[in-house]
Amino acid sequence: MCRLPSEQSVRDMLGASIPQDVTVVKIQPFPRLRPQRIYRVDLSDNTALHLVLPPLSMWRPLRSEQAIVATEATAIDWLHQVLARYSSSATPCSSRSSRRGSEETSKQQIEDSKALLRLLPSLVHHGQDTTTALRELFAFYEPIRGTAVALLDPKIPDDPNSPERQQVDFETGIFYQRLLTQPGLVSPTGRFGPLAAVIPLLQPSQPQRAQPGAGGLFGTGGAGSWSVAFHSMLEGVLRDGEDMAVVLGYSTIRRHFRRLGYILDDVTVPKLVVVDAAQDSNLLVERIPDGGDGAIRIAGLQSWSNCIFGDPLFATVFSDPPDLSLPPPSASFLGGFNSPAPSTSPPQPSASTTTTTTATANYLSTLDPRIIEALPSAPVRLLFYQTYHILTRIVAEFYRPRPDSTTRELEARRKLNVVLAKLAEVPDDFLCPPEAHYTSLPATPNSSTSTKSLNKREHAVARPTGEMSPAKRMRELEVPIPKK
Q: What is the mean pLDDT of residues 233-252?
A: 95
The pLDDT value recorded for residue 295 is 85
Give the pLDDT mean for 310-334.
Answer: 83
Q: Does the pLDDT at position 269 exceed 50?
A: yes
Domain boundary among 340, 368, 396: 368
End-of-domain residue from the set 368, 402, 428: 368
Residue 484 confidence (pLDDT) above 70: no
Q: Which range (18-22, 76-80, 156-160, 325-329) has the least confidence?
A: 325-329
Residue 263: pLDDT above 90?
yes
User: Are 238 and 278 members of one domain?
Assistant: no
Any idea which of 46-55, 117-126, 434-443 has the lowest mean pLDDT?
434-443
Residue 472 inside a domain? The answer is: yes
Q: Is residue 277 included in any domain, yes or no? A: yes
Domain identity same for 178 and 273 = yes
* Residue 402 sits in the same domain as residue 306: no
Whether 289 and 420 share a structural domain: no
Model confidence band, residue 483 (pLDDT cutoffs 50, 70, 90): very low
* pLDDT over threshold 60, residue 205: no
Same domain, 176 and 276: yes
- CA gap 5, 27 in Å, rounded: 8
Please check whether residue 326 lies inside any domain of the structure. Answer: yes
Claim to verify: residue 338 and residue 287 sit in the same structural domain: yes
Clarify whether residues 341 and 402 are in a common domain.
no
Query: What are the strands, taking DSSP E only, across 4-160?
Result: 24-29, 37-43, 48-53, 123-128, 137-141, 147-148
CA atoms within 13 A of residue 221's CA, in its CB half-sphere:
7
Query: Is residue 27 one of the residues assigned to a domain?
Result: no
Quick count: other Cβ atoms within 10 Å of Cβ 325?
7
Sorting pLDDT into bands at 50, 70 and 90, what band is 161?
Answer: confident
φ, ψ of residue 132 in degrees (nearest 5)? -120, 165
Domain that holds residue 454: 234-265+372-478
359 with 380, same domain? no
Domain identity same for 359 and 408: no
Question: What is the pairing mode between strands 193-194 and 137-141?
Answer: unpaired
Poorest-confidence range of 231-235, 318-322, 346-350?
A: 346-350
What's the structural domain count of the chain?
Answer: 2
pLDDT of residue 459: 41
Query: Does residue 28 form part of some domain?
Result: no
Q: Last residue of some domain: 333, 368, 403?
A: 368
Position 21 scores a pLDDT of 92
Distance in angstroms (rounded) separating the CA atoms of residues 11 and 17: 10
* Residues 443 and 321 both lie in one domain: no
Query: Please, are residues 151 and 31 in contact by the beta-carbon 8 Å criterion?
Result: yes
Contact (CB, 8 A) for 269 and 229: no
pLDDT for 447:
39
Confidence of residue 362 (pLDDT cuts 50, 70, 90): confident
pLDDT more than 90, % of the chain = 58
CA-to-CA separations, 333 to 88, 172, 221, 346, in angstroms, rounded: 29, 6, 33, 9
Q: DSSP assignment, residue 403?
A: T
CB < 8 Å & 24+ apart, contacts of 6-12: 9/129, 9/131, 9/132, 10/39, 10/41, 10/51, 12/129, 12/131
The per-residue pLDDT for 32 is 84
Residue of 350, 311, 312 lying closest to 332 (CA atoms) = 350
Average pLDDT, the chain: 81
Q: What beta strand segments (E) does 78-236 contain? A: 123-128, 137-141, 147-148, 193-194
pLDDT at residue 29 greater than cutoff 60:
yes
Residue 94 has pLDDT above 70, yes or no: no
Q: How far is CA 34 from the centre of its chain?
A: 14
Over 80: is that where the pLDDT of 108 sits?
A: yes
Specify the pLDDT at position 144.
83
Classify the C-alpha dihedral 349-355-361-365 as positive or negative. positive
Selected residue with higher pLDDT from 58 and 232: 232
- Please say if the pLDDT value at position 465 is more than 60: no
**Is position 292 within any domain?**
yes
Q: How far is CA 439 from CA 253, 328, 433, 444, in A?
A: 21, 18, 10, 11
Q: pTM for the complete prediction?
A: 0.84
In this structure, the answer to whether residues 273 and 257 fall within a common structural domain is: no
Domain check: are 445 and 465 in the same one?
Answer: yes
pLDDT band (50, 70, 90) for residue 440? very low
The answer to the question of residue 334 being in a domain is yes
